[in-house]
């Protein structure tokens, strides 16, 4: 694979991983493609894999590409070289195929177009590796054994990452995303056919937002209180413990009251204290929050055992420093 192809694929994989969920779209009327993509983006998913399962696919891709260039746009269910040409000409940034067709893979490589082919078993993965690919679609995911099958195949093929699609929904989404070899998940549950047919864009926006919330798993972990010195911290911690009946956990620079309060013994971040927000994946949560207009302080990164553990927002909110905390 050419160096440019590798770079294109790495950039694609990074963006897909940050978004986390790729809506798989089957649309019969291209006129609805832009408002559909807008609804998904408002809900937090500026991405779409528009499948060549209908005659409207090419025009739908073209309209979204022209009017919403910020949307990460792929073409799915691509079976022929002619469909590759049409998809790319319309504005698709990458190609997804349901199976692994060497001819299509090589054609995409010749054109410098990233492709994620469908793989269902170890033999498919070996062919993908022979063709220089390291990211594959696992389809149909649930029917083929789900996350347990992916984990089993990852053992001998440690360098391969997966984009599972098929049977994935909000209830099993994080079963897949919690495995490091899963780069993202594809699905259509946030854009059901009846909602597309009735142009219920508000419903699609709500479903997309719900999917993002489920994926990120944001929750309040604890509140830090800036008592300022050990003596004051001891008194404050004792008061909270007596009020709530929670146990004290003494640490070098703070006392935890149960799991809800961190009473700081030294001057610390934030005028009033800090707020810890737990999340399933810090890098992914950061991308989505940055898209909402928030800025993070890279100098605040906390690592543990070589893994990202926490990072703070650059600016306080209501006098509190806010940081993400890896669950």
Among residues 49, 58, 59, 262, the one annotated as catalytic is 49
E strand map for 92-237: 94-97, 115-119, 135-138, 161-164, 185-187, 219-226
221 in active site: no
| Peptide bond between residue 140 and the one before it cis (omega within 30 degrees of 0) | yes
CA 83 to the chain's CA centroid:
28
CB contact at 8 A, 40 and 68? no
Q: State how beta strands 135-138 and 161-164 pair.
A: parallel
> And the tokens for 200?
């219920």
Cα–Cα nearest to 282, from 6, 12, 20: 20
- Give the C-alpha separation, 96 to 162, whole Å: 12
What is the Cα–Cα distance from 254 to 128, expressed in whole angstroms? 51
Instruction: For the chain, list the strands marked E by DSSP.
Output: 21-25, 47-51, 72-76, 94-97, 115-119, 135-138, 161-164, 185-187, 219-226, 248-250, 254-257, 261-264, 273-279, 302-304, 307-312, 320-326
Residue 59 annotated in active site: no
Catalytic residue among 18, 26, 58, 137: 137
Q: Which of the residues are catalytic?
A: 49, 137
């Amino acid at each position: 694979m050419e160096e440019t192809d590798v770079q294109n694929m790495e950039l694609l994989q990074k963006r897909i991983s940050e978004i986390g969920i790729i809506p798989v779209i089957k649309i019969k009327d291209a006129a609805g493609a832009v408002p559909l993509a807008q609804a998904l983006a408002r809900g937090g998913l500026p991405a779409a894999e528009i499948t060549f399962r209908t005659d409207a696919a090419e025009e739908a891709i073209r309209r979204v590409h022209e009017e919403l260039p910020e949307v990460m746009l792929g073409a799915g269910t691509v079976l022929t070289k002619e469909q590759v040409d049409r998809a790319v000409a319309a504005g698709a940034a990458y190609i997804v195929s349901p199976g692994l067709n060497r001819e299509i893979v090589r054609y995409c490589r010749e054109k410098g177009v990233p492709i994620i082919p469908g793989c269902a078993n170890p033999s498919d993965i070996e062919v993908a590796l022979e063709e220089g690919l390291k990211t594959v679609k696992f389809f149909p995911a649930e029917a083929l054994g789900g996350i347990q099958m992916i984990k089993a195949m990852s053992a001998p093929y440690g360098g391969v990452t997966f984009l599972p699609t098929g049977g994935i929904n909000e209830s099993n989404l994080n079963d897949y995303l919690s495995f490091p070899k899963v780069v993202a998940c594809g699905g259509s549950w946030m854009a059901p056919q009846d909602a597309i047919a009735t142009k219920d864009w508000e419903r699609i926006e709500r479903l997309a937002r719900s999917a993002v919330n489920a994926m990120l798993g944001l929750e309040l972990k604890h509140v830090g209180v800036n008592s300022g010195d050990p003596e004051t911290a001891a008194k404050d911690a004792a008061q909270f413990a007596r009020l709530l009946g929670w146990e004290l956990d003494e640490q070098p620079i703070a006392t935890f009251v149960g799991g809800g309060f961190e009473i700081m013994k030294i001057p610390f971040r934030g005028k009033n204290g800090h707020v810890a927000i737990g999340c399933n994946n810090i890098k992914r949560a950061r991308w989505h929050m940055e898209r909402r207009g928030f800025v993070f302080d890279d100098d605040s990164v906390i690592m543990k055992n070589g893994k990202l553990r926490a990072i703070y927002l650059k600016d306080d909110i209501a006098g509190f420093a806010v940081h993400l905390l890896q669950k």
